[in-house]
Structure 1
């Protein structure tokens, strides 16, 4: 299990980021809309909601095009799907901790069938392209 969490850290560039956790209470109502426009916080909140929904094709659409070229959708989706299977994931809660125009920090709470509960923080770099924010994955 530790190896998996370390793998997540390597792939996502994990580093801790300070701030108070503010879990989203919204529900993803329309996953087919374009990438969230507006503030980086709005984008980060939507990213967290889509991540929790498990809709990896929409999540991938929120990834910067340069990152998409380096990591094709099949690799991206396989990473998340394999992680769910290996950890026996039963529930994931992702909340936005801190956001700037350059990065978003998330608190992730994983509930698994066999390994119990794991919590970690991840910081993802953000890019603003023509008024839309994207994750650099």
Structure 2
């Protein structure tokens, strides 16, 4: 650890990283639940004997917009976490040792990248497929 960083400052940095990670996961959970609720509503409306296609299409378009917002928010939060991680690597020797040990693993893609980019992309593809196959 560098000389200018005290134990208290390191702890503060660690707390900030933990807070941002918690925010990332909380937002992910919120959006997944919200998307699931919209999916359920679309399913219920489509199963009616005379489904109202304009209403269903409107809900799907709103869900697509929400998914793009979700993707943006998650990507931004990942960027913030990446910045804090880089700073932590410079300032905290213990953290740097743990990260270097983890890099020796066989996992080429990190969880944050998958959760920030892949999951929203899969969800938007699902919504677009529903929108264009709705009859």
Q: TM-score, normalised by structure 2?
A: 0.26
Determine which structure has more spread, i.e. the larger CA radius of gyration.
2
Larger relative helix fraction? 2
Which has the larger share of strand?
A: 1
Instruction: Considering Cα pairs closer than 8 Å and 6+ residues apart, tell me whether 1 or 2 has the greater RCO.
Output: 2
TM-score by length of 1: 0.26
